[in-house]
Chain A
Amino acid sequence: MSPVLQALPGEWLAIPAMNRQLRTMWDPGGSAEGAPSEFRASQMNLLLHFGPETAPADARARFDEAIVFSQRYPCRIIVLCADAEEPVRERVEGKLFAQCYIGDTPRTMCCCEALAVAFDPAEAAAVFNQVSTWIESDLPSLLWLHRIDADTLRTYLPTLGARMRRILFDRSVDGEAVEGLPRLEGVPWSDLAEARTLPLRQSLGQYLSCFPPGELARQGQSLAVGHGPGLGGEARALAHWMADCLEEAAGREGERPSTTVRPTGEDRVLHVEWKDRAGASSLLFRADLDHGHGTVEARWPGEHGPAGHTFVVGLLPAREALGEAIFF
C-alpha cells in the first residue's frame, strides 16, 4: 500500500465506485434551493502528481495546500501517487475526500472534492485514461508536479498533458532536475518558487522603478544572489528576474549581467548584490524572511554615501503562490 496515499485523508473506495460516488455526493435529494449542491460549483481541475521520491509528510503538506487553495478557488483535486513499490492488484483502490468550507456566512460556503490514487509508474497510461474520466469537463485543468521524473512524464504528457491549461512545478523542491523535463508547445510552465518571490520582486521593482532605466544600465554588471537552506529556487528566480530587468534597462547596446547563485549559512535570508565593473554603483538587498523586513543599500554615481531603505517583505504563502502561478 502506497505510504503516500496512506498519509492522505479520505475514504477508501474502489476505482469503479469513484465516478458513481462523485455523481451522487452532491445530490440535494429534492431539498430547497440553496442546498449544498449549489456550492460545489468548481472553477478548475487541479491534478497533483507526486513522483516516487515524494515523502508522505511532503505529500500531506502539498495536499493541505491544495485544499486551502480550493477554499478560495473551488476545484476538483486529483492526486496521483506514483509508487514503484505499489503491487499490481486486481482491484485498484483510491481515496475520496470532500470538504465544505464555510466562510463568514453560509453564503460564502464552498465545497471541494479530491480523488487520490496510487499506481505503478509502469501502468501510468492506463491510470491516466481513468483519470481523464474524473476531470470535470469544460473547466481548465492544471497539473502540479512534485518530484516527478522525466520518464513518467513522457508517458502521459502528449495525451493528458496536452489538455492542461498550465503545468506547475517548484524549483525549490526539484531543483535543476526540472530542466530535464520534457515541455509541450503551447502549455506554459509556472514555477511556484518564482511565484513565492512576488513580494520581493514587487518591493525591489517599485524601488528601482523610481530611477530612469538608463541610470540602472551599467556595463559589466554582476549579480550575486545568496540564499539560506531550502531557498535555492527562490534565489534562482530572483536572480533570473533581476538579470532580465537589467538587460531590458540596458537596451540594445547593453549586456546581460553575469549571475551567480550560491547558498549561504544564513537561515531564511535572501540577499542580492549588484555591482558594475567600476564599482561606481552598487546595490545590496537583504531580505530577512523570518522577521519580515528587507533592507536595500544603494550607491549611485555622483551621490555622496549610500542611500538606505527598508521594506516589509516575505514570501507568498502557499495559497497565494498557487494563485499567482496559475492566474498570472
Chain B
Amino acid sequence: MESTERHPFLRGLSKHRGAPPTVLVIFGASGDLTARKLLPALYNLAVDHLLPADFFFVGYGRREVDEDEFRRRAAGAVREYSRRPLQEEVWAPLRERVFYQTGSYEDEADFRALAERLAAIEHELGRELQYLFYISTPPGVFAPILDHLGRSGLARHHADTREASKVVIEKPFGHDRASAEALNGVIARNFRESQVFRIDHYLGKETVQDLLVQRFGNTIFEPLWNRQYVDSVQITVAEDIGVGSRAGYYDQSGALRDMIQNHAMQLVSLTAMEPPVSLDPEAIRDEKVKVLQAIGVPVADPEEGDVVRAQYEAGLIEGEKVPGYLEEYGVAPESATETFAALRLWINNWRWKGVPFYVRSGKRMARRTSEIAVQFKRPPGILFSGDRQYDLAANTMVIQVQPDEGQTLLLNSKIPGLETRTQPVKMHFRYAATYGSNTPEAYERLVMDAMVGDSTLFIRGDETEASWRLVTPVLEAWEAFGRAGLARYPAGSWGPLAADRLLWEHRHEWRRPGA
C-alpha cells in the first residue's frame, strides 16, 4: 500500500503507535550521547509502550566491547540518566534485544558484516524490518559511514516502502557552508531526502514545539506579529558552564557554530516564519527556509558591523571562582575562538522589514537560559506619559525555552489607590504548574518521530545550507581578523559591552533573564 495511507489495523492508534518493526543502529554507541540521551530515551519510550512491538537495538562502535558488558553499561546509563527509574519488567525484554557490533566506520567488510547481522535479525523475526541508522560519531566520519551504508545496500533496504531505511544525523552538520553542501551531496548520492533526519535537539523541546501552537493556535497574537507592532526580538541561548572536557572540539568550533548556526537560528525561523499551509512537515520546513533566505548576511566589521564576538575571562559563577577560557585545559593560549557571539539580523520581507532580531549565545554567562522575547512598540505618548507616576513598560511576550519552561506576558496595570499610577505586571504560564511533572525529553520525541518517518522536527538539507549561508561569511571574516576585535567578558556576566552597543544604536537593551 502507499506509504501515506494508513493501514486499517493502525486505526484508532496515534501516529506514534504505528511504527513498523525497527532495528536502531547507533554508530558511536559507546559515546556520551548514547549513554546520556539515546538509551534513556528508548527506555522511556518502552515505559510508555511507544516502542514498536518488534524493536531491536544494535550499538556499533570501533571499541571492542563484549555484548553482555554493553548491555550492563546500557542498564547503567538508563539508571543514571533516565527521567524515570529503571523497572526490571520494562528493561528485561528490551535488554534481550540490545546487541553490539564492533566495526570500523571506513571498512567495507565491517559494513557487510553489519548488513548480514541485520538480515539475520530480520529473517528470525519473519517480517520486514525497518533499519534506522543513527550517526552519533565525530563529524569527520559522517561521510564514510553514509557512503558505506549506500555501497552495502543498507541505505536502500525496503526502498519506497514504510520500512525504508532511514538515517539520523547529529550535529554538527558541516562546519561552514561548503562542508555542509558537500555533506548534503554525500547524503544525496546514498539516500533520498525523505529518508534523512538531521537532528537539532532544540526542536524536540516542548516549548519550541509549542511556539507554533502559540502563534497559530491563538487568534490574538498573529495580527500583532509584524513590523507594525513589534519593536524588536531578542533570542538568548545562554549557558553558565564552561567548555569542560570538550575543549578539543569547542576550540575548533566556537559559539557561532556550536549554538547560533543551529539552535538559535531554529528559534529565529520559528518565531519569524509565515503560517504554513498545513501541518505537513514539508509545508512547515518550506516556511522556515523562506525566512532564512530573507535574512541579510550580517556584516562582520568589528566597529560598524552587526556581529560581536568575545571570550570569557575568569569570574564568579554562583559565587564560585572559575577560570577564563584561555586557562581552561586543552585550550591553546593564543586561541581566537569565541565563547560568546551576538548578532543583529534583519529579515527583509514584508512582515519584518526594519525589525531587528538580536541573537546571542555564550558560555559562562550569568545563568543558563534560553528564551525568545518579542518586544512590542509602546503606545503613542498621549495618555499615561510625561509624568513620573506613569511607569509604562513595552509589552513583551517572553517564551522561556529552558529552564522553567513557559511564557510570560508583560503588561501595564494601574496600581490600586486614589491616584492613577501605573506599573508593569507579569502574566505567567508555567509548564510545570499547568502540565505537572515528568514531560518527555526531547530525544524521546525525536527518536520516535524518526521511527515513524515524521520529519517535521528535523532539519532539511536546504535549511541547513541557508543558515550556513548567513554565518559562513562571518566565520571567514573572523578567521582573517585573528584575535583583532575579539572582546572579553567576565565569566558570570551577560557578555561584553560591545554586545550592548549593538542594541544601543537602536535604543534597545539586552534583557537580563532572571529566575
Contacts and interface: CB of A to CB of B under 8 A. Distances in A.
Interface of A: 38-43, 70-74, 101, 103-104, 107-110, 198-199, 201-210, 212-213, 216, 241, 244-246, 248-249, 292, 307, 309, 311-312, 316, 320, 328
B9 A249 contact: yes
Indicate the member of B1, B21, B53, B428 with the most A CB atoms within 10 Å. Answer: B53
Interface in B92-147: 93, 126-128
A292 B83 CA distance: 23
A64 B211 CA distance: 35
B402 to A, nearest CB: 12
Interface residues of B, number: 37
Contacts of A248: 8, 11
24 contacts: A38-B433, A41-B429, A41-B434, A74-B434, A74-B435, A103-B438, A104-B83, A107-B403, A109-B437, A110-B433, A198-B17, A202-B13, A202-B49, A202-B53, A204-B9, A205-B7, A206-B10, A206-B20, A206-B52, A209-B20, A216-B8, A241-B11, A248-B11, A312-B53
Contacts of A320: 48
A216 to B, nearest CB: 7
Nearest to A75: B436
Given A206-B19, A213-B1, A245 B8 contact: yes
Given A209-B18, A212-B1, A249-B9, 15 more contacts: A38-B430, A38-B433, A41-B434, A72-B438, A101-B437, A103-B436, A110-B436, A205-B10, A205-B13, A205-B18, A206-B21, A209-B10, A213-B7, A244-B11, A307-B126
A110 B53 contact: no
Contacts of A42: 434
* Consensus secondary structure, chain B interface: loop
A104 B436 CA distance: 11
Contacts of B436: 70-74, 101, 103, 108, 110
A110 B52 CA distance: 32
A105 to B, nearest CB: 8
Interface of B: 1, 7-14, 17-21, 48-49, 52-54, 83, 89, 93, 126-128, 403-404, 428-430, 432-438
A212 B161 CA distance: 12
B18 A292 contact: no
B54 A206 contact: yes
A5 to B, nearest CB: 27
Contacts of B83: 104
A248 B7 CA distance: 9
A89 to B, nearest CB: 37
B1 A210 contact: no
B428 A73 contact: no
Contacts of B10: 205-206, 209
A328 B7 CA distance: 18
B1 A71 contact: no
The 8 closest A-B pairs by CB, nearest first: A103-B437, A108-B437, A248-B8, A209-B7, A208-B9, A249-B8, A41-B433, A205-B9
Contacts of B52: 206
A307 B404 CA distance: 51
B48 to A, nearest CB: 8
Contacts of A43: 434-435
B401 to A, nearest CB: 15
A110 B437 contact: yes
Contacts of A316: 49
Nearest to A34: B515
Contacts of A74: 433-436
B224 to A, nearest CB: 22
Contacts of B438: 72, 103-104, 108
